[in-house]
Amino acid sequence: MFIIGGVQKTTLIDFPGKVAAIVFTQGCNFRCGYCHNPSLINPSPLRIEGVGVRDFFSFLQTRTGKLDGVVITGGEPTLQSGLYDFIKEIKQMGFDVKLDTNGTNPDVIEKLLNDNLLDYIAMDIKAPIEKYENIVCTNIKQENILRSIYLIINCKINYEFRTTVIKSQLSFDDFDKIGQMINGAKRYYMQKFVPSEILDHNLVNEQTYTDNEFKTICENLKKYIEFVNFR
């Protein structure tokens, strides 16, 4: 089964260096308060928008030569039992694939990487591992998060790690711990919290760091990570 919660027909920024479409999968196993896609959290769509798998592939066929690739995001795509076959069909049509993931299903990530079905992978790092459950508001298996990090750092494709930043949730010391957790990574981005449509409206007045504070964190993290920036 593969449940599509929505489609964005074109993006110039979500797949580095490529023009792509975005597929939003339905359902997530995290409950991050700052989630900007709260309608995608429940496993079943709250409203049916008529985006079926075959509908998407019919659309994609019309974009041959116009799009370079497809971004699969969520929700959490690795929860979808049909993810492998969905990606395989995209690849067979000649498009590149970028996967966004929270890293909770390393077996899925490993199989996709081993079978050369991904061209780019982005994993969200929510916090230092000991603080993860505070941010995602559910129980996790720490070993799964750490194994996904290991798989991605050692993969042969382009990748990035990224963290959405609320100042009250993550201290300078927390970022140092994140740096240690992804030590040796090629690319890491800190993403400014934007209080728009979010899951937990109690966070609407929360702040992120200033640009100067982000620059200080970046400088510190460069001892662990090849490229660090904020956006």
Give the start-to-end residue ranges of the domains of the chain: 4-230
Q: Indicate the pLDDT class of residue 45, thresholds 50, 70 and 90.
A: low
Residues making up the chain, counted from first to last: 231
Asked whether 182 and 161 are in contact (CB, 8 A), the reply is: yes
pLDDT mean over 106-113: 98
Cβ(159)–Cβ(118) under 8 Å? Answer: no
Instruction: Read off the amino acid at residue 131.
Output: K
Q: Is 90 exceeded by the pLDDT of residue 196?
A: no
Tens-digit pLDDT profile for residues 83-103: 999 999 999 999 999 999 999
Say how many C-beta atoms besides its own lie within 10 A of residue 61's C-beta: 9
The pTM of the full predicted model, rounded to 2 decimals, is: 0.95
Weakest-pLDDT range from 47-61, 117-131, 174-188, 210-224: 47-61
Fold of 4-230: TIM Barrel (3.20.20)
